[in-house]
């Protein structure tokens, strides 16, 4: 017999499995987070130095329903309290996305709930619309993560915004990961470099970042510069100067991000700047863009609260329109 329950605010259940985090969240219509569960696979992928799609997909299947159960329990909610299911349908690793999409469709179908398909990048931006400090568009948004480096012109909350600039090679987070590998640090590399950089001199090495036209980014050059620097140093010297290398490398990447972000803001006359995505957790970037709105740390890396948040601003698909819904790897 179910215990008597007070009538709850209707809730949104969000699901995110586009890369290497299996995540579920429960939020309210007004954007209040009731539970935000992220089961990171970082350790699993650490031995490969990066995300292995098949390994990630297998792990998502193991974690997807336990994570949903944890989110519901954390919100002290039941599926009866859920009025909308939201799920990332792309872009991302197709096999990984499909695990979340299948589970979300099944839950929505079984409960005759509507389903909101959410674009992962729109989700990152929508992390800014959550309580307690929701940001009101228009603003310029830097989305920097292991998979993306984008400058977005955000005019309204309802859809994925217009792209002003993007990386022509590596993503910023990828540059951190690759740099960390060159320096013999762990995966994911962003946090490792950030930590080590605090002990180093950011001016010790000059790592220039290529200037590409417009407000696009290129990080392959700085990575190559680091590679040469590492190769040139003798083993003991390298050990001694590892912190300097990390600090200089981080400085180069952060400077490129900051310069381009400011240029883009000027270009569209944006009065507000926001930073989201895993790289937004970087302490030097946070300091350098102190005037910007920075996503809270827990919402920087991939999570499902941001997916549920985006769902508040997209048209949900009513039953049975979503039963044939598929995932997409890229928007191109």
Partner 1 sequence: MLILAFDTATDVATSALVDGGEVLGERASRAATLLEDVDALLRQAGTQTRDVDALAVGIGPGSFTGVRIGLSTARGLALALGIPVAGVSTLDALEAGAPDALPVIDARRHEVFVPGRVLAPADVDVDRGRLCVGSGAVRYRDLLAAKGADIPPDTDERHIPRARFHAALARDFGPAEQVEPLYLRVPDADKTHS
Residues in the chain: 332
DSSP state of 161: P
Provide, rounded to whole angstroms, the least separation between the CB of residue 144 and Zn ion.
10
Provide, rounded to whole angstroms, the least separation between the CB of residue 118 and Zn ion.
12
Helix (H) or strand (E) holding 190, with range, is helix 189-197
Q: Is residue 3 at the binding interface for partner 1, with CB under 8 A as the rule?
A: no
Q: Quick check: helix, strand or coil at residue 124?
A: helix
Provide, rounded to whole angstroms, the least separation between the CB of residue 57 and partner 1.
6
- From the list 58-66, 221-229, 265-273, 310-318, the region that binds partner 1 by CB under 8 A is 58-66
Q: Are strands 82-90 and 115-119 parallel, antiparallel or unpaired?
A: parallel
Output 7 or 47, the one with its CB closest to partner 1: 47
Contact set for partner 1, span 76-95 (CB under 8 A):
79, 94-95
302 binds, among Zn ion, partner 1, none (CB under 5 to 8 A by kind): Zn ion
Q: Are strands 82-90 and 33-40 parallel, antiparallel or unpaired?
A: unpaired
70, 100 Cβ separation under 8 angstroms? no
318, 32 Cβ separation under 8 angstroms? no
Contact set for Zn ion, span 257-296 (CB under 5 A):
none
Output 69 or 208, the one with its CB closest to partner 1: 69
Burial class (CB in 10 A: 0-12, 13-18, 19+), 30: exposed
Q: How many residues interact with partner 1 (rule CB under 8 A)?
A: 36
Output 99 or 289, the one with its CB closest to partner 1: 99
The residue from 48, 76, 227, 298 that contacts partner 1 (CB under 8 A) is 48
Provide, rounded to whole angstroms, the least separation between the CB of residue 302 and Zn ion.
4
Provide, rounded to whole angstroms, the least separation between the CB of residue 203 and Zn ion.
32
Q: Quick check: helix, strand or coil at residue 50?
A: coil
Output 92 or 277, the one with its CB closest to partner 1: 92
x/- mask, Zn ion, residues 289-308, rule CB under 5 A, reads -------------x------
The residue from 61, 168, 238, 329 that contacts partner 1 (CB under 8 A) is 61
Q: Is residue 22 at the binding interface for Zn ion, with CB under 5 A as the rule?
A: no
145 binds, among Zn ion, partner 1, none (CB under 5 to 8 A by kind): Zn ion
Provide, rounded to whole angstroms, the least separation between the CB of residue 58 and partner 1.
7
Provide, rounded to whole angstroms, the least separation between the CB of residue 147 and Zn ion.
6
Output 79 or 238, the one with its CB closest to partner 1: 79
CA distance 6 to 280: 39
Q: What angle do CA 274, 305, 78 make, to 5 degrees?
A: 160
CA distance 190 to 204: 20
CA dist 199 to 45, 163, 205, 207, 284, Å? 27, 36, 14, 18, 13
29, 308 Cβ separation under 8 angstroms? no
Contacts of residue 219, Cβ cutoff 8 Å, sequence gap at least 6? 149, 167, 169, 170, 171, 172, 174, 175, 209, 253, 256
Provide, rounded to whole angstroms, the least separation between the CB of residue 245 and Zn ion.
27
Residues that bind Zn ion (CB under 5 A): 145, 302
Residues that bind partner 1 (CB under 8 A): 47-48, 52, 54-55, 57-58, 60-62, 64-66, 68-69, 79, 94-95, 98-100, 102-107, 109-112, 320, 323-326
């Amino acid at each position: 017999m179910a215990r008597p329950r007070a009538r709850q605010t209707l809730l949104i259940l969000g699901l995110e499995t586009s890369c290497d985090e299996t995540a579920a969240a429960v939020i309210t219509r007004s954007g209040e987070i009731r539970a935000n569960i992220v089961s990171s696979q970082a350790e699993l992928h650490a031995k490969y130095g990066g995300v292995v799609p098949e390994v990630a997909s297998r792990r998502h299947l193991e974690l997807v329903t336990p994570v949903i159960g944890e989110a519901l329990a954390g919100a002290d909610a039941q599926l009866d309290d859920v009025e909308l299911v939201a799920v990332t349908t792309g872009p991302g690793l197709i096999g990984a996305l499909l695990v979340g999409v299948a589970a979300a469709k099944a839950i929505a179908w079984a409960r005759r709930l509507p389903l909101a398909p959410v674009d992962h990048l729109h989700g990152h931006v929508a992390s800014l619309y959550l309580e307690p400090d929701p940001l009101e568009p228009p603003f310029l948004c830097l989305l920097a993560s292991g998979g993306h480096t984008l400058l977005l012109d955000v005019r309204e909350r309802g859809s994925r915004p217009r792209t002003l600039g993007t990386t022509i090679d590596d993503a910023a987070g990828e540059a951190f990961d690759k740099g960390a590998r060159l320096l013999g640090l762990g995966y994911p590399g962003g946090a490792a470099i950030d930590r080590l950089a605090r002990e180093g001199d950011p001016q010790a090495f000059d790592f220039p970042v290529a200037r590409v036209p417009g407000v696009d980014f290129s990080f392959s050059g700085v990575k190559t510069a680091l590679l040469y620097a590492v190769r040139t140093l003798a083993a003991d010297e390298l050990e001694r100067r590892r912190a300097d290398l990390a600090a200089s490398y981080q400085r180069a990447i952060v400077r490129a991000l900051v310069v381009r972000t400011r240029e883009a803001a000027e270009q569209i006359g944006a009065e507000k700047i926001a930073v989201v995505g895993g790289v937004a957790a970087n302490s030097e970037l946070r300091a350098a863009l102190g005037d910007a709105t920075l996503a809270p740390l827990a919402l920087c890396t991939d999570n499902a609260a941001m997916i549920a948040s985006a769902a508040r601003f997209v048209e949900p698909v009513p039953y049975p329109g979503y039963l044939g819904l598929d995932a997409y790897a890229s928007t191109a």
